[in-house]
Structure 1
Amino acid sequence: MKTRLLLLLLCFTGFFTSCRKEKETRVTDYVDPFIGTAGQGHCFPGAAVPFGGIQLSPDNPRSGWEWCSGYHYSDSIISSFSHSHLSGTGIGDLQDIRLLPVTRRPRPGEKAIDFITSGYAKYSHANETAEPGYYSVTFDNGIKTELSVTNRCGMHAYQYPSNAIHGLTLDLTTARNWDRTVMTSIKKINNRTIQGYRKSTGWAREHNVYFFMEFSQDVDVWAGVDTLQLLRNGQKIVSDKGYAWIDFGTVTNKILVKVSISSANCEGAAANLDQELPHWSFDKVRREAKQQWKRALSRIKVEGGTKEETRTFYTALYHAYLAPYLFSDAHGNYKGPDGEIHSVGKENQYTVFSLWDTFRASHPLFTITQKDRVNDMINSFIRHYEIHGLLPNWELMGNESHCMIGNHAIPVITEAYLKGIRGYDVEKAYEAMKETSLSKGHGLELFREYNYIPCDLEKESVSKTLEFAYDDWCIAQMAKALGKENDYLFFMESSKNYKNLFDPSTGLMRGKLADGSWRTPFSPFSSTHRNDDYTEGNAWQYSWFVPHDIDGFISLHGGKEAFARKLDSLFTLPSVIEGSNASPDISGLIGQYAQGNEPSHHVAYLFNYTDKPYKTQYYIDKIRRELYTDRPDGLCGNEDCGQMSAWYVFSALGFYPVNPCDTKYQLGTPLFKKVIIKLGQDRRFVIKANRENDQYIYVKRVLLNGDPLDRTWITHDEIINGGELEFELTDSIIAD
């Protein structure tokens, strides 16, 4: 009897443990990759792994603002499944190595491009599924496609209707948005393998993608430029255009395709498959991709929110972990900004650094949850510097695009160093920071000469002045930590240059001429994508970027009360933008505040510095509720490689890095009743809050490890060391 009871107890324990494990894996069920694919989010819904080098996703046959990622939820036609995509940028590129299953064969003499476009397939969202690491769709013509990925490889599974032709098109030519094909190659290696390349120019000026592709059965390959001709084994075509049709015959209607890409050569792409995908089990690829996401997402566990809030949170965390992308292949090779092939050996090179966006919250999030990758990213910066002579600005696939302003690799390095993340050559990193800041391009020479950038000598003069001043403050902190006193004094002095563009009569930052007079006329509501004074914003939106000297900035306004009144005006002025060429980035408006554009992201937290933190709590809650949802249009602006979502992650946790390099986080108001941040095997940082209902947003008291916290911020060390942060909330305003 005792033995039977013991067996029953063991069975029950095993069943309970199994259920508990199953429940833990459900964190991935809260992710919806379709969030951000409508509206202005510019997200893609396809398969990827955290920070992976493959983004295997569907493309629509359109170009333009809405289709920067290749896909927009409003569309109903798919033109291809391609292997590289940008996550939420405002410019379109990539979409390389485009495949599409089709049910017809080319007619004799039919133009290749006509045959390719004739295969574009209609679909319904009702027949579309996406989850972390997996995407599937069934076309109206009956073809079902499933996609999954490893770090450097993509796997396609096609199921064709019975009695249909089983074919696949390969398009190396069709350009979308900024991209234009320069040269292509397609070579048939044997009956089951092809390889080649696509070289293009666009936002990434010199973009080379080499591919290696294997099929689960013997195939015939028809390739060409104008018309398609049968390729023999060992034969290849090289041209400025390249198309192919792969004939699977009729042996089976279930086909698998493995694809890998490399920026270096076809050998690197082949090595990716040998290392990461030597088998033919689609289910194994899908399962392991989901496991990667489970491990990454489970480092933060939230409890006590609604289903919508939890879905929004974990999808935001998912988006934050899509970029940067792994760039080096299995041989350790990648194309550098000089166009040459470089090697990192067994280390990792990353690409897609949207630093103007991501230094604000994405990289600070990585310092808590992705410390090892932070070292890889900074080493990627240093290699870029060694080849290019400067740190990256907006690096894209081995190219320096110089798309945005500032030198924001500098705060990323400084933040990491001051937070104790130092797995790189620190002196080389400092050398790169200093060399970049003292270079002469993009207005820096004027910044040094005038102690501001004159608006009659350089466009975007105000925003560049403010961002260079912040970068210099960051270098000063690094210099101080390294004992470089003269550098510290020099860069601290130049970090005050923001004051030279503050107009006390308007309380805003304003363009100034080389002779020291203000630009006239002055319209603080005027906004263009790139105007004379501001980058993607207007005076109201950009005038708050002084995160390194907020006390000094408050003094310019005449003190805390005056500063608070000015902040109030930002949120309460009419949401009007002047100018016929208004930037589409200016979105998610609350008054003149624009959550859809990064310069606004720290601003709601500035009330903490005015003795009115309840206003920070009010606006953070308002932004979360009104401008983020779990619908396809759930982002109010471009995702921008993770920054839009990283803001939400931090703001849902209850704190935010207003100045990432002061190693402090300003407190807001938590969204969940309980959050557990896993920092290591035996360390946790727990956030608790008595969220009785949606009106409980105001902070009555904060306890850190049981002791009252008499400040509006916590430090990075207080988080990383583990402990408990408890918010006592109320539904009533806690004034002064």
Structure 2
Amino acid sequence: MKLRSLLLCLFSALAASGQRPADLANPLVATAKPRFDFFAAASMPYGMVSLAPDTHHGDLWNAGYRYNDTHILNFSHVHNTQTAGIPVMPVVGSCKALQGLEASRSRLSHEGEVAKPGYHKIRLEDYGITAEFTASPRAGFHRYTFPAAGEAHVIMDLTAALGPVVMLKGHARQVSGTEIEGYSVMAPTFRRKKNCTVYFFARFSKPADKINLWQSSTDSSGARVLTTATQVEDRRAGLYASFYNLRQGEQVMLQVGISFVSMANARLNLESELKDWDFGAAVEKATQAWNDYLGRIDVAGGTRQQQVKLYTDLMHTAIGRRWTEDVNGQYLDNTGPAPVVRNIPLTPEGKPAFHFLDADGLWGSQWNLNVLWSMVYPEYGNSLAATFLAYYRNAGLLARESWGGNMSYVMVGDQTAPLLAALMQTGRATFDTNEAFAGAYKNAFPGGIRDRAGYEAGPNPQGGGIDWYVRFGYVPYEISKRGSGFHRGGAAMTLEYAYQDWCIAQMALSLGKHDQHRVFMKRAANWENIFDAGSGYMRPKDTAGHWLTPFEPVIPPNGKGFAAPGFIESNSAIYSYYVPQDVDGLVHAMGGRETFVKRLDASFSKAAAFGFAAEHGEHAKSEIDYDNQPGCHLAHLFSYAGAPWKTQYWVRRVKAVTFGDTTFAAGYRGDEDQGQMGALSALMAVGLFDVQGLADMNPSLEITSPVFDKITFHLPGGKRFVIEAKSPRGKDNTYIQSARLNGKLWNSFSFPFSAFAKGGLLQLTLGPSPNKTWGITAL
């Protein structure tokens, strides 16, 4: 029996070792009703190209590849929140390209579908075509296996509307029988206020029998084929390559390089990254890139579902924000009156020194991405920081988001400051820290980015209320009627600005700027100005100092639930805990530890029936909402009030209920939001967090109970930090019984980040009952 058990363990270990992270991550999780940028199998981490099917267009929040849709409209190369482009569709039989995407659609079959990081295979039922895809960072690689067909066509409709993007015009030029180049010009969107052009260079593995270009027509047909032309530019433009008399199983491959700078750069990107037609080798290269990325956190134990979800979560951290610079380091700066091509310095190896990213803002990322980036992916956090600092140099303002080389002012405040502070305080920063401080300092006063409310892009912004914040020590309720932006919630702005001020204070202290440190530490206490001791909640206040009346911490079920008056996509019940810079002060203000724990515990107990998340768009109706950013830290607050076992319990519950599913129908409640909820879910799974976002001078990591038996973090410089968790088999392992850090008994719920960064070993003993004496000793 001992020999048999030993062999079974050995075989189990060998099987486990054959499972690479990219084999476990599942891009199809939660694809029933996704964002346009949510699904990205044929891609590389942060790569410019995300080549994927589109089954629905016309919206950001419910578009792209939707698992339950019945038809595929096209496959396209760019799936970002505000940019899209270059759709391709293979068909058999007569070509209907001029009639729009719907005319050439095919029934979607999931039979035989394979989707994993770096590769996607799917069948077009109506045409009998098997479509396979992979990608390099800046180029897509298609392989189509056709049935026997008298005629087949590969369509590129360059002016079709994709996702949330409308195209103004398209251009195509036939270079040869196998090569085409061109571009699509995207119209401005609500967030991206200027045009944006995506360029392409495409080549086929075999010459087309004919390449047909089309443009708009003045007659009733709407479009016409240009029978002799070799190039076209029009408000409606496209092409299709025709192949005749294909044999059963014959393959046609297509490679498409992308650039936001020029057609020449699109060609350079393609030729630099895809040098041959070895599709299998390209798949393996993409898969290896994903294994390298996902494998920085290596786990053993837990259930297969928990492992699948971890690597799916980590995958999502690397697909929401994407490179826009080319292999030669060129990128487009569109902040001025005319676009300017700028250059990122190259390394001695000839690669860009950082990646210039298209990215939504970092609203709330102090409780997810900032922590994960600082821990194991610092180069990606540094690239985003460098991108926003490039805006500071190019346009005079430290950005909080980037689309098409232009700022779009998503959400509110200076969301970049917490990221800059985290990278600086953890020793991970590779940017100019004095420049970063100067940019954050400017943003904290009138004339900076805090002038602007959400999406407020006009020349005279007033919706951010930073002038009132400096004057009154809070943003008054009247901000809701000033300016032209969205998210003008004065109480929420006050709380976010105060935390950001604290982050700037920490930056100042680390740079020896003591006068500035004192100024911003004083401002970091501004949360006290809107805390109503009578109700025990953060409460909006007007310019005269009067509390908003009537006042409801939670909007009732029959009310308008997107945001409570004075708050942003949330309510007072959640925002009242938005004081990460002074949790001890908040606990005291709310009546002390026992009162604080009882109150927060009651909110979680009530929210359990709703999966700890409000319905998306109804954020003001819940006391706990893990569908949205403002409350991502709530379960971790118990530790600060002397009840770390409550944190362990509720983090486990939220992880399982809100983020635990791995079906196509679920996995994230509401908006995953460019990897933020994926990062939060991953941190919950490995049992590490930081309420302060690692932005303080001597940051620490908070410990909760991991779901895995062993976790190995592969850190910069070849170092490793390992967590080992032992628990009784077959029993609940929610609660930490004891801990050792590098062999030393450890009785604090947190430990220095510096100990993590150096590499080491954290040993945890877990059990089914809370140990109320563990974790209560101060660090």
TM-score, length of structure 1 as denominator length = 0.91
Unaligned runs of 5+ in 1: 1-15, 87-91
Task: Look up the match of 2:740.
Answer: 703
Residue 204 of structure 1 aligns with an amino acid whose one-letter code is R
C-alpha distance in 2 between matches for 1:493 and 1:435? 17
Q: Is 1:72 aligned to 2:83, yes or no?
A: no
Residue by residue, what CA displacement relative to the aligned partner does 1:73-112 show, whole Å, maximum 9, x if unpaired?
22121111111113xxxxx5433111111113347xxxx5
Is 1:210 paired with 2:207?
Answer: no
Residue 579 of structure 2 is aligned to residue 546 of structure 1 = yes
What is the correspondence of 1:10-49 to structure 2 with a 5 Å cutoff? 23-24=17-18, 26-39=20-33, 43-49=38-44
- The answer to whether 1:243 aligns with 2:250 is no
Secondary structure at 1:399 match in 2: coil
After TM superposition, give the deviation of residue 121 of structure 1 in Å: 0.9
Alignment map for 1:611-622 (pairs within 5 Å): 611-622=642-653
Counterpart in the other structure of 2:263: 266
Q: Residues 510 and 518 of structure 1 are in contact (CA less than 8 Å); yes or no, is this contact kept in structure 2?
A: yes
Q: 1:518 aligns with which of 547, 550, 566?
A: 547
Say if 1:40 and 1:635, in contact at 8 Å, map to a contact too.
Answer: no
Answer yes or no: is the 8 Å Cα contact 1:221–1:231 preserved in 2. no
Q: Cα distance 1:345–1:213, how it changes in 2: closer, same or farther (>3 A)?
A: farther
1:84 aligns with 2:121: no
TM-superposed CA distance for 1:354, in Å, is 3.1
Q: CA deviation at 1:148?
A: 0.3
Q: Which residue number in structure 2 is paired with residue 600 of structure 1?
A: 631
Structure 1, 495-504 or 388-397: larger mean CA deviation: 388-397
| 1:387 correspondence with 2:373 | no
Q: What do the CA deviations read for 1:607-649 (whole angstroms, capped 9, x no partner)?
A: 0011111111111111111122111112112211111011111
CA distance in 2, matches of 1:287, 1:104: 33
Deviations 1:689-732 (A, max 9, x none): 12334611111111111111121112211111111111111101
Task: Provide closer, same or farther for how the CA distance between residues 301 and 583 of structure 1 changes in structure 2, counting only shifts above 3 A.
Answer: closer
The 1:292/1:44 distance shift into structure 2, 3 A limit, reads: same
Q: Residue 714 of structure 1 corresponds to which residue in structure 2? A: 751
Report deviation, 1:393.
Answer: 1.6
Shift of 1:379: 1.8
Are 1:411 and 2:402 counterparts? no
Question: Which whole-Å CA distance do the structure 2 matches of 1:674 and 1:623 have between them?
Answer: 21
**Are the counterparts in 2 of residues 529 and 537 from structure 1 also a CA contact under 8 Å?**
yes
Amino acid at match of 2:735: Y
DSSP 3-state at the match of 2:85: coil
- 1:267-313 Cα shifts (integer Å, max 9, x gaps): 11111012111211111110100011111122211111111111111
Question: Which has the larger displacement, 646-655 or 162-171?
Answer: 162-171
Question: Is the CA contact (8 Å cut-off) linking 2:261 and 2:341 kept in structure 1?
Answer: yes
**Residue 357 (structure 1) shift:** 4.0
Aligned length: 704
- Confirm or deny that 1:457 pairs with 2:443: no
Deviation at 1:164, TM superposition (A): 4.7
Contact 1:596/1:637 (CA < 8 Å) preserved in 2?
Answer: yes
Partner SS state of residue 400, structure 1: coil
List 4+ stretches of structure 1 deviating above 4 A.
Answer: 19-22, 39-42, 574-577, 585-589
> Would you say the 8 A contact 1:99–1:171 is kept in 2?
yes
Residue type of the partner of 1:33?
P
Amino acid at match of 1:227: A
1:168 Cα deviation from its structure 2 partner: 1.2
Query: What is residue 313 of structure 2 aligned with on the other side?
Result: 316
Q: Paired residue for 2:616, among 577, 581, 584?
A: 584
Q: Structure 1 residues 148, 696: CA separation in 2 closer, same or farther (over 3 Å shift)?
A: same
Cα deviation for residue 212 of structure 1 reads: 1.0
Q: Distance in 2 between matches of 1:675 and 1:599?
A: 28
Q: Compared with structure 1, are the counterparts of its residues 376 and 66 closer, same or farther at alpha carbon in structure 2 (3 Å cutoff)?
A: closer
The answer for the alignment partner of 2:276 in structure 1 is: 279
What is the distance in 1 between the residues matched to 2:363 and 2:252? 43
Q: Which residue of 1 aligns with 2:704?
A: 668
Query: Which residue in 1 is equivalent to 2:469?
Result: 447
CA distance 1:41–1:725, change in 2 (3 Å): farther
- The equivalent position to 1:497 in structure 2, one of 517, 523, 526, is 526
Q: Which residue of 2 aligns with 1:221?
A: 211
AA in 2 matched with 1:401: S
Q: Deviations over 1:398-419 (max 9, x none)?
A: 2222121221111111111111
Separation in 1, partners of 2:310, 2:100: 43
What is the match of residue 121 of structure 1?
A: 106
Matched-pair contact (CA < 8 Å) for 1:34–1:45: no
- For 1:694 and 1:400, locate their aligned partners in 2 and report how far apart those are by CA, in whole Å: 52
- Residues of 2 paired with 1:667 and 1:164: CA distance? 64
* Aligned equivalents of 1:58, 1:677: Cα separation in 2: 34
- Structure 1: distance between partners of 2:618 and 2:299: 31
Code of the aligned partner of 1:623: V
- SS state at 1:548 partner: helix
Letter in 2 for 1:166: A
RMSD over aligned CA atoms reads 2.4
Structure 1 residue 657 corresponds to structure 2 residue 690: yes
CA shift in 2, pair 1:321/1:392, >3 Å: same
> Residue 285 and residue 366 in structure 1: after superposition, are their counterparts in 2 closer, same or farther (change >3 A)?
same
Maintained 8 Å contact 1:333/1:345? no
User: What do the CA deviations read for 1:1-59 (whole angstroms, capped 9, x no partner)?
Assistant: xxxxxxxxxxxxxxx99x96993562221111101212567721431111111111111
- Do the aligned partners of 2:151 and 2:246 also contact (CA within 8 Å) in 1? no
The alpha-carbon deviation at position 575 of structure 1 amounts to 8.0
Letter in 1 for 2:726: N
In the TM superposition, what is the alpha-carbon distance from 1:383 to its structure 2 partner? 0.6
> In 2, distance between residues paired with 1:523 and 1:588?
10
Cα distance in 2 for partners of 1:224, 1:249 equals 23
Indicate if the aligned counterparts of 2:569 and 2:619 stay in contact, CA closer than 8 A: no
Cα–Cα, structure 1 residues 283 and 21, in superposed 2: closer, same or farther, change >3 Å? farther
Which amino acid in the other structure matches residue 192 of structure 2?
Answer: A
Which amino acid letter does the alignment assign opposite residue 598 of structure 1?
Q
Aligned-partner SS, 1:301: strand
Contact 1:585–1:596 under 8 Å retained in 2: no
1:564 aligned to 2:597?
A: yes
Greater shift, 679-688 or 300-309, is seen at 679-688
- Structure 2 residue runs of 5 or longer lacking an equivalent are 1-9, 217-221, 347-351, 453-463, 481-487, 774-779
Secondary structure in 2 matching 1:395:
coil
User: In the superposition, relative to structure 1, how do residues 277 and 40 fare at CA in structure 2: closer, same or farther (>3 Å)?
Assistant: closer
Distance 1:132 1:46, change over 3 A: closer
**Please, which of 78, 85, 93 is the counterpart of residue 104 of structure 1?**
93
Conservation of the 8 A alpha-carbon contact between 1:463 and 1:534: yes
Using the aligned pairs only, state the percent identity.
28
Whole-angstrom distance in 2 between the partners of 1:491 and 1:470: 10
Q: What is the CA–CA distance in structure 2 between the aligned matches of 1:572 and 1:120, rounded to whole Å? A: 48
Find the counterpart in structure 2 of residue 288 from structure 1: 285
Aligned to 2:53, which of 54, 58, 66?
Answer: 58
Are residue 644 (structure 1) and residue 677 (structure 2) matched?
yes
**Secondary structure in structure 1 of the residue aligned to 2:574:** helix
CA spacing shift, 1:357–1:71, aligned 2, 3 Å: farther
> Following TM superposition, by how much is the alpha carbon of 1:232 offset from its aligned partner in structure 2, in angstroms?
4.9
**2:118 corresponding residue in structure 1:** 133
- CA deviations 1:194-236 (Å, max 9, x no partner) are 1111111223333221111111122222222232424657x32
Alpha-carbon distance in structure 2 between the residues aligned to 1:281 and 1:615 = 54
